[in-house]
C-alpha cells in the first residue's frame, strides 16, 4: 500500500477552487463551480447528489480524464501533492490503476467483451505490477476474485465477461480495480441499477476491503442510504458545488442545507413504515427495509 | 441440417456452428452450379450450333450434338456434368480439344497468385488506414480519405486500370502496361508486371474497408470498456490492439469478405485490362468462342471461391465474437 | 460489377413521411438535397442534355471513319483528337453518353420494376413463399455478377436489348431484398389492416397502400442501380460484350483505343473520364437523395 493509515498534513486528494465548464451551443456552461474538496488517507467519503449535479464529472477529473468539449476554467486537483493536470502521459497512466482504482457505474459494459477475465487481470497487473511474473499474476487474479466472493475463481478466470450476471460483473470490475492495490478507490455509482441484494453484497464487500487494506474510498451515489451504510463523511453536491459536508448521521438526521433536506426527505424514512407497507406491522417495514439503512451500517461497523 | 451438424460435432457449439455454415455453403454451391449450368445450356440457341459457327453443315452439327449428348434432357445432362465435376473430370475444351483441367492449371495458378497478392496487401493496408482515420477522427487525414472514398467507389475497376497504365506506363514509362507473366524471364520481372494489376484492384477495394473499419473503430473507441481500460492506466498500444481492435474487426472482416467476393468478379475484368494470363482472360476467351466446358469450369471455380471466401469470413467473425462462440443453444 | 453497388447499404429502408405529408415532401425535396447532390443533379441534367442533343452539338458523325487522320492529337477541329479509324473522339463520347444513359437507365428501370414487384409480393405474402423466394434470390445474388453477365450475354450473343435485360435482371435479387424490407415495415400498419378488413385484394393493397409508402425506396434503388448498371455495362462493353460496333460506347472505346495508347491517349482517356464522371455524379446524387428522403438529422 502506498498510503498509510495515519493522517498526513497533505491530504491524499485536494481539490481547490475547481471550476469546470462544458461547451454548449451558445458558449461554455459551468458544471462544477469553485469546488473545494479534501480527502484524507483511510477516509471513506460519499459524494451525494442528483444526476447532473457534477459528481460524475468530478470523478472523471479525479482520474485526470480529458474530454473534448470540457475545460477546466480555474482551480487545481492534487493527488498526493502532485498536480494532476499537466502530468506527462506515462505518469498519469501510473497514477490511474496503480494508485487510483476505478469502479465504473456499469460493470458489464466496462469489461472488454473479447477478453477473458484472466487476460483482463493480466493487462492491469502487467501495466502496474511489472515485478510480478505470470504465475504470480495468475495467483493475484485468483486471490482477488476469491476476495470478491467468487467460489470458483479458476472457473471464472477462463470465462468471458458476458457469461456473468450483472452483479458478478460489478464484482469483477471491483476486483480489477483492486488488483494493483491502489491507495484510493473511486466508485462511480456502482450500485445504481442493481437490485437491493446485490447492492447490499457490494457494500458488505467494501467494508471487508476497508478493514483489510485501509484503502481510501470515494463513493459516488445519488442514494444517501447506501452512502450512509459505508461512508464516514458525506459531501452533498448540488449544481456543481458541495453544499453540505458532514458525518452520515448528521446529514441524515439534521440536514442543514435546503437541498440536503430535500434529498433526505426523498429517502424512505426508517422510523416510520413507507406508506405502501402494512400499517399493522410496523416492524416489518423497519427490519425489511430495502436499503439496509443505518441499522446495517451499525451492525457491520467494526 | 442443423441436426446433422449437431450429431456430427457433439456438444461443442463452435464446431456445430462452423459445420452448419459449411453445410449451408455446400447447398449454395450446389444451387450455384445449377444456375451456371442453366445459364450456359438452357438458354436459347444450340451449344453445338454455336460451337461450330453459322457456316457449319447440319450434318456436322448433328454429329457434334450426338457426341456431346445434347439429345438428353437438361436434367440428365446436368446430373452427368455434376457427377463428372465431383469426380474431378471437367470435360474437354471444345476449342483446343485438350482436357479442361490441363488448360486451367496454369491460369488458375496465375489468378490465385494475383488474388493472393491483392489480398495480402489489401487487408493490412486498409485496416491500417481505417484505424488511423479513426484515431485522427475529423483530422485532415480522416477528411481527405473520407472524400476519396466516394470517388474511389465510383470509378470502375477497368477505368482505374486504364488510368494507371496511362500514367505509369505511357506517360512515365515506369511499369509495363501488360502483365504477361507467362513470358517473364525472371521472378522479379514477373513481380514488376504484377504491380499495376495489384494496384488497380486495391484502389477499387480499399476505400470500402477503410470506411467500415473507421466507423466501427470509432464506435468501439467511444465504448465504455475502452474508456475504463484507459482509466485503468493501460498502455495505449495495448488498449488499441487488445481491447479496441478485436471488437472493431467484425464489421471490418465482413467488409473484407464482401470485397474478396467482389474481387472474384473484378479480377476477370482487370485481367482483361492487363492481358494477364489468368482464369478471367480464359473465361472471356471461352465465352467468345462458346467453349462451354471451359466456361462452366471457370464459372464454377470462381463462384466456388466466392462461396468459400464468404464462408471463411463468416467463420472468422464467429470466432472473433465470444458471444457467438460460447452460445449454448 | 464494381464497388458502386455498396451504396445499397446505407439506404436499406428509407422511412417516408405519412401519406399527407408526402406531397409536401416531394415539393421541397430539391431544397433538402445537400449542395453536392444539387450540383450532381445539375451535372447529370447537363449530361442528359448533351447526349440528347448529340446530333446537333457533336461536330462530326460518331461512326464515320477518317473524318480526320488516325490518332490525331486534340486540336481546334477535333477537340479530343481522333481514334485509330480517324473518327472524332468528342463526337463518339457525346453519342456514347446516349448509349450509356439509355442502356443503364433502362436496365435500372427493369431492375426496379421486377425487383420492386417481387419485393412487394414477398414482403406482403410472408411465410413460406417469402422464405423460399429470399433464399433462392440470395444464392443467385452470390454468383459474381460479372461472371453471370458474361455467361448469359455470351450465350445469347451481345446486343443492346440482351445486355439491358441481363444487367437489369442481375440486380433484381438485391433490389428485391431492399424493397421487401421497406414493404415489411408497413404490412402490419393500421391502414393496411383496415384495407384487408375492407376485403380489398392483395394486389389492390400492394398497389394502393404499400407502394406509395415505398416510393422513396424505389427512387433511391433506381438511382443506385443506374450507377451500378453504368459500371457493369461499361465492363461488359470493355470485354467485348456490349453494344455491337460501330455503336459509340465508352467501354468499347476504351478497349479499342488500348492498343494505340503509345500514339494517343485521348481515345481512351476521354471515355474513361466520362464513365468515371458519370458514375461519380450518379453516386453523389444517390447519396443526396437517400439523405433527403431519410429522417432529418
Counting residues of chain A whose pLDDT is more than 70, the rounded percentage is 85
Cα dihedral B73, B74, B76, B78 in deg (nearest 10): 170
Q: What per-residue confidence (pLDDT) applies to B311?
A: 85
The torsion angles phi and psi of A6, rounded to 5 degrees, stand at -75, 140
Pick among B231, B236, B321 to test the A interface (most A CBs inside 10 A): B231
Q: Considering the domain boundaries, does residue B51 fall inside one?
A: no
Answer yes or no: is B194 within a domain: yes
Residue C182 grid coordinates: 421497406
Over 50: is that where the pLDDT of A11 sits? yes
**Does the pLDDT value for residue B51 go beyond 80?**
no
Q: A13-23 and A70-79: which strand pairing?
A: antiparallel
Residue to mutate among B155, B255, B304, with most C CBs inside 10 A, is: B155
Does residue C44 or residue B75 have the better pLDDT? C44
Q: How sure is the predictor about B42, in pLDDT bands with cuts at 50, 70 and 90?
A: low
- Euclidean distance between CA atoms A191 and A68, whole angstroms: 28
**pLDDT confidence bin for C108, thresholds 50/70/90:** very high
Task: Give the pLDDT of residue C174.
Answer: 85
B120: pLDDT confidence band, cut at 50, 70 and 90? Answer: very high
Residue C297 C-beta-side C-alpha neighbours within 13 Å: 6
- Listed range (A246-250, A278-282, C154-158) with the worst mean pLDDT: A278-282
Cβ A110 vs Cβ A177: under 8 Å: no
Helix, strand or coil for residue A176? helix
Omega of the bond prior to B245 within 30 degrees of 0, cis?
Answer: no
Rounded to a whole number of angstroms, the distance from the CA of B223 to the nearest CA of chain A is: 8
pLDDT band at B55 (very low <50, low <70, confident <90, very high): low
In chain C, residues with a C-beta closer than 8 Å to the C-beta of B261 are 142, 144
* Partner residues linked to A221 by β-bridges: A48
What is the model's pLDDT at position C111?
93
- Mean of the pLDDT values across residues B8-22? 73
User: What per-residue confidence (pLDDT) applies to C248?
Assistant: 84
Distance CA C171, CA A290 (A): 61
C-alpha cell at B127: 485496416
The pairs formed by B13-18 with CB atoms below 8 angstroms and a separation of 24 or more are B13/B325, B13/B326, B13/B327, B13/B328, B14/B318, B14/B319, B14/B325, B17/B318, B17/B324, B17/B327, B18/B315, B18/B318
Where is average pLDDT lowest: B247-251, C10-14, C26-30?
A: C10-14
CB atoms B284 and C239 under 8 Å? yes
Question: H/E element holding B298?
Answer: helix B292-320
| pLDDT score, position A288 | 36
The predicted pLDDT at position B170 comes to 80
Q: Do chains C and A touch (3 or more CB pairs under 8 A)?
A: no
- Spatial distance between the Cα atoms of A113 and A90, rounded to a whole number of angstroms: 26
Query: Angle at Cα C48 formed by Cα C47 and Cα C54, nearest 5°?
Result: 85
The CA distance from A279 to the nearest CA of chain B, in Å, is: 45
**Any idea what DSSP says for residue C33?**
S
* Cβ–Cβ below 8 Å for B246 and A102: no
Closest by Cβ to B35, choosing from C140, C156, C279: C140
Contact B223 A93 (CB under 8 A): no
Question: For B184-196, what is the mean pLDDT?
Answer: 81
The Cβ-side half-sphere exposure at C98, using a 13 Å CA radius, reads 15
Q: Note whether B261 contacts C280, CB cutoff 8 Å.
A: no
User: Looking at the complex, does the CB of residue B169 fall below 8 Å from at least one CB of chain A?
Assistant: no
Let me know: does C187 contact C129? Beta carbons within 8 Å: no
Put simply, the answer to whether B36 touches C151 (Cβ < 8 Å) is yes
Residue C94 lies in a domain: yes
Q: What is the count of residue pairs from A and B with beta carbons less than 8 Å apart?
A: 80
CA distance B236 to B283: 50
- DSSP structure string for B197-253: HHHHHHHHHHHHHHHHHHHHHHHHHTSHHHHHHHHTT--HHHIIIIIIHHHHHHHHH
Identify the band that residue C107 occupies on the pLDDT scale cut at 50, 70 and 90.
Answer: very high
B317 and A CB contact within 8 Å: no
CATH number of the domain bearing residue B288 = 1.10.3720.10
Mean pLDDT, residues B278-295 taken together: 86
pLDDT for res A270: 53
**Is residue C285 included in any domain, yes or no?**
yes
- Are the C-beta atoms of residues C128 and C161 closer than 8 Å to each other? no
Helix ranges (H only) for A148-237 are 153-157, 166-178, 196-213, 224-230
C32-80 confidence digits (pLDDT tens) = 788 888 888 889 898 888 888 878 887 777 777 777 777 778 877 777 7
Question: Are C7 and B155 a contacting pair at CB < 8 A?
Answer: no
A43 close to A216: Cβ distance less than 8 angstroms: yes
Q: Chain C contacts of B300, Cβ < 8 Å?
A: none
d(CA C3, CA C266): 26
Number of domains in chain C: 1
| Position A210 pLDDT exceeds 80 | yes
Query: Chain C contacts of B172, Cβ < 8 Å?
Result: none
Nearest chain B alpha carbon to A93: B233
Residue B311 resides in a domain = yes
Work out the minimum CA distance from C231 to partner chain B, whole angstroms. 6
The CA angle B197-B214-C176, to the nearest 5 degrees, is 75
B260 within a domain of the structure (yes/no) = yes
| Distance linking the first and last C-alpha atoms of chain C | 32
Task: Quote the DSSP letter at residue C240.
Answer: T
The H or E element containing residue A238 is strand A233-238
pLDDT band at residue A279, thresholds of 50, 70 and 90? very low
Confidence of residue A289 (pLDDT cuts 50, 70, 90): very low
pLDDT digits (tens, 9 = 90+) for B290-320: 788 888 888 888 888 888 888 887 787 777 7
Checking DSSP bridges between strand A13-23 and strand A100-103, what pairing results, if any?
unpaired
pLDDT value of position C13: 44
Chain B residues with CB under 8 Å of C241 CB are 287
**CA neighbours closer than 13 Å in the CB half-sphere of residue C103:** 30
Q: Quote the pLDDT of residue A9.
A: 65
pLDDT of residue A287: 36
pLDDT at res. C24: 61
In this predicted structure, the answer to whether residue C23 has a pLDDT above a threshold of 60 is no
d(CA A17, CA A12): 17
Spatial separation of the C-alpha atoms in residues A222 and A47, rounded to whole Å: 8
Judge whether B254 is closer than 8 Å to chain A, CB to CB: no
Contact A106, A146 (CB under 8 A): no
CATH superfamily of A9-299: P-loop containing nucleotide triphosphate hydrolases (3.40.50.300)
- Smallest CA-to-CA distance from A182 within A84, A95, A120 is with A95
Range scoring the smallest mean pLDDT among B32-46, B91-105, B252-266, C93-107: B32-46
Neighbour count for residue A38 (Cβ, 10 Å): 15
Strand A184-188 and strand A44-48: pairing? unpaired
Output the pLDDT for position B45: 56
Q: What is the pLDDT of residue C145?
A: 85
How far is residue C65's CA from residue A55's CA, in Å, rounded to a whole number?
82
Q: What is the mean pLDDT of residues B105-126?
A: 90
Q: Decide if C17 is inside a domain.
A: no
Domain count, chain B: 1
SS3 for C144? coil
What tens digit of pLDDT does each residue of A104-162 get? 888 788 888 888 999 999 999 998 988 989 999 999 999 988 888 888 888 889 898 88
Domain that holds residue B216: 106-321
Chains that touch A (3 or more CB pairs under 8 A): B
Which chain C residues are within 8 Å of B162, Cβ to Cβ? 254, 258, 268-269, 272
Has residue B92 got a pLDDT over 60?
yes
E strand map for A40-142: 44-48, 70-79, 82-83, 100-103
User: What is the model's pLDDT at position B147?
Assistant: 76
pLDDT > 50? residue A293: no
pTM: 0.74
Which residues face B153 on adjacent strands?
none
B5 domain residue, yes or no: no
Q: Which of B130, B314, B258, B115 is nearest to C3 (CA)?
A: B258
β pairing state of A44-48 and A216-221: parallel
Q: Which residues of C touch B157 (CB under 8 A)?
A: 2, 235
CA proximity to A79, closest of A1, A4, A183, A211 = A183
CATH of the domain at C245: 1.10.3720.10
Q: Which residue would you say has higher pLDDT here, C70 or A241?
A: A241
- As a whole number of angstroms, the distance between CA B69 and CA B80 comes to 10
Contacts of C155 in chain B (CB under 8 A): 39-40, 43, 45, 50, 290
Provide the domain limits for residue C126: 36-49+88-296
Flag whether residue B14 sits within 8 Å of chain A, measured between CB atoms: no
Amino acid at each position: 500500500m502506498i498510503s498509510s493509515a495515519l493522517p498526513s498534513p497533505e491530504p491524499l486528494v485536494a481539490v481547490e477552487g475547481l471550476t469546470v465548464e462544458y461547451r454548449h451551443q451558445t458558449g461554455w456552461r459551468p458544471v462544477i463551480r469553485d469546488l473545494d474538496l479534501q480527502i484524507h488517507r483511510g477516509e471513506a467519503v460519499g459524494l451525494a447528489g442528483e444526476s447532473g449535479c457534477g459528481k460524475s464529472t468530478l470523478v472523471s477529473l479525479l482520474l485526470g480524464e480529458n474530454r473534448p468539449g470540457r475545460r477546466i476554467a480555474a482551480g487545481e486537483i492534487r493527488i498526493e501533492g502532485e498536480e494532476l493536470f499537466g502530468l506527462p502521459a506515462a505518469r498519469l497512466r501510473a497514477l490511474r490503476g496503480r494508485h487510483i482504482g476505478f469502479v465504473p457505474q456499469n460493470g458489464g459494459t466496462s469489461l472488454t467483451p473479447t477478453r477473458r477475465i484472466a487476460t483482463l487481470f493480466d493487462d492491469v497487473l502487467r501495466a502496474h505490477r511489472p515485478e510480478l511474473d505470470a504465475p504470480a499474476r495468475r495467483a493475484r487474479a485468483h486471490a482477488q476474485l476469491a476476495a470478491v466472493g467468487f467460489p470458483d475463481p479458476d472457473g471464472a478466470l477462463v470465462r468471458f465477461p458476458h457469461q456473468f450476471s450483472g452483479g458478478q460483473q460489478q464484482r469483477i470490475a471491483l476486483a480489477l480495480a483492486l488488483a494493483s492495490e491502489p491507495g484510493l478507490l473511486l466508485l462511480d455509482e456502482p450500485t445504481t441499477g442493481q437490485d437491493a441484494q446485490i447492492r447490499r453484497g457490494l457494500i458488505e464487500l467494501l467494508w471487508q476491503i476497508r478493514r483489510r487494506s485501509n484503502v481510501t474510498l470515494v463513493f459516488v451515489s445519488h442514494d444517501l442510504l447506501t452512502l450512509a451504510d459505508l461512508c464516514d463523511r458525506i459531501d452533498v453536491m448540488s449544481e456543481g458545488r458541495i453544499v453540505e459536508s458532514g458525518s452520515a448521521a448528521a446529514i441524515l438526521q439534521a440536514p442543514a442545507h435546503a437541498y440536503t433536506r430535500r434529498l433526505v426527505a426523498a429517502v424512505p424514512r426508517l422510523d416510520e413504515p413507507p406508506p405502501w407497507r402494512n400499517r399493522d406491522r410496523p416492524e416489518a417495514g423497519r427490519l425489511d427495509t430495502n436499503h439496509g439503512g443505518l441499522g446495517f451500517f451499525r451492525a457491520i461497523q467494526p | 441440417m442443423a441436426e446433422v451438424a449437431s450429431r456430427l460435432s457433439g456438444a461443442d457449439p463452435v464446431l456445430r456452428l462452423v459445420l452448419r455454415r459449411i453445410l449451408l455453403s455446400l447447398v449454395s454451391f450446389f444451387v450455384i452450379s445449377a444456375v451456371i449450368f442453366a445459364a450456359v445450356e438452357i438458354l436459347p440457341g444450340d451449344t453445338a450450333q454455336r460451337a461450330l459457327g453459322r457456316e457449319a453443315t447440319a450434318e456436322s452439327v448433328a454429329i457434334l450434338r450426338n457426341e456431346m449428348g445434347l439429345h438428353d434432357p437438361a436434367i440428365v445432362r446436368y446430373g452427368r456434368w455434376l457427377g463428372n465435376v465431383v469426380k474431378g473430370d471437367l470435360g474437354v475444351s471444345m476449342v483446343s480439344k485438350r482436357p479442361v483441367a490441363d488448360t486451367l492449371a496454369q491460369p488458375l495458378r496465375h489468378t490465385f497468385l494475383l488474388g493472393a497478392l491483392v489480398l495480402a496487401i489489401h487487408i493490412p493496408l486498409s485496416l491500417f488506414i481505417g484505424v488511423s482515420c479513426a484515431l485522427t477522427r475529423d483530422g485532415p487525414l480522416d477528411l481527405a480519405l473520407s472524400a476519396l472514398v466516394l470517388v474511389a467507389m465510383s470509378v470502375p475497376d477497368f477505368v482505374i486500370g486504364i488510368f494507371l497504365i496511362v500514367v505509369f506506363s505511357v506517360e512515365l514509362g515506369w511499369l509495363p502496361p501488360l502483365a504477361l507473366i507467362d513470358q517473364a524471364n525472371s521472378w522479379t520481372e514477373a513481380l514488376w508486371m504484377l504491380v499495376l494489376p495489384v494496384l488497380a484492384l486495391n484502389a477499387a477495394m480499399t476505400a470500402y474497408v477503410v470506411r467500415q473499419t473507421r466507423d466501427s473503430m470509432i464506435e468501439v473507441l467511444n465504448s465504455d470498456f475502452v474508456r475504463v481500460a484507459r482509466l485503468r492506466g493501460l498502455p495505449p498500444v495495448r488498449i488499441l490492439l487488445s481491447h479496441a481492435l478485436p471488437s472493431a474487426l467484425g464489421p471490418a472482416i465482413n467488409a473484407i469478405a464482401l470485397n474478396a467476393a467482389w474481387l472474384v468478379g473484378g479480377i476477370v475484368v482487370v485481367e482483361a485490362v492487363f492481358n494477364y494470363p489468368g482464369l478471367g482472360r480464359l473465361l472471356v476467351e471461352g465465352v467468345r468462342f462458346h467453349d462451354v466446358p471451359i466456361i462452366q469450369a471457370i464459372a464454377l471455380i470462381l463462384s466456388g471461391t466466392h462461396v468459400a471466401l464468404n464462408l471463411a469470413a463468416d467463420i472468422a467473425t464467429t470466432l472473433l465474437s465470444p458471444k457467438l462462440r460460447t452460445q449454448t443453444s | 460489377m464494381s464497388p458502386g453497388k455498396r451504396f445499397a447499404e446505407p439506404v436499406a429502408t428509407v422511412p417516408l413521411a405519412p401519406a399527407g405529408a408526402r406531397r409536401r415532401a416531394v415539393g421541397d425535396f430539391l431544397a433538402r438535397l445537400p449542395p453536392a447532390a444539387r450540383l450532381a443533379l445539375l451535372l447529370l441534367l447537363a449530361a442528359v442534355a448533351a447526349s440528347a442533343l448529340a446530333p446537333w452539338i457533336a461536330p462530326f458523325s460518331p461512326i464515320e471513319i477518317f473524318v480526320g487522320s488516325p490518332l490525331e492529337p486534340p486540336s481546334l477541329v477535333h477537340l479530343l483528337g481522333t481514334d485509330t479509324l480517324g473518327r472524332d473522339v468528342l463526337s463518339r463520347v457525346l453519342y456514347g453518353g446516349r448509349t450509356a444513359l439509355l442502356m443503364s437507365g433502362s436496365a435500372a428501370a427493369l431492375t426496379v420494376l421486377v425487383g420492386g414487384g417481387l419485393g412487394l409480393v414477398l414482403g406482403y405474402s410472408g411465410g413460406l413463399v417469402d422464405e423460399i423466394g429470399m433464399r433462392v434470390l440470395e444464392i443467385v445474388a452470390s454468383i459474381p455478377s460479372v461472371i453471370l453477365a458474361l455467361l448469359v450475354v455470351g450465350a445469347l450473343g451481345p446486343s443492346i436489348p440482351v445486355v439491358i435485360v441481363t444487367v437489369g435482371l442481375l440486380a433484381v435479387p438485391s433490389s428485391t431484398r431492399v424493397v421487401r424490407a421497406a414493404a415489411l415495415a408497413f404490412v402490419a400498419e393500421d391502414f393496411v389492416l383496415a384495407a384487408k378488413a375492407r376485403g380489398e385484394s392483395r394486389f389492390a393493397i400492394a398497389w394502393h397502400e404499400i407502394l406509395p409508402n415505398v416510393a422513396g425506396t424505389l427512387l433511391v434503388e433506381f438511382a443506385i442501380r443506374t450507377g451500378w448498371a453504368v459500371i457493369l455495362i461499361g465492363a461488359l462493353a470493355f470485354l467485348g460484350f456490349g453494344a455491337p460496333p460501330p455503336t459509340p460506347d465508352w467501354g468499347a472505346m476504351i478497349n479499342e483505343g488500348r492498343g494505340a495508347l503509345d500514339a494517343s491517349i485521348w481515345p481512351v482517356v476521354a471515355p474513361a473520364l466520362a464513365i468515371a464522371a458519370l458514375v461519380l455524379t450518379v453516386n453523389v446524387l444517390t447519396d443526396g437523395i437517400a439523405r433527403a428522403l431519410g429522417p432529418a438529422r
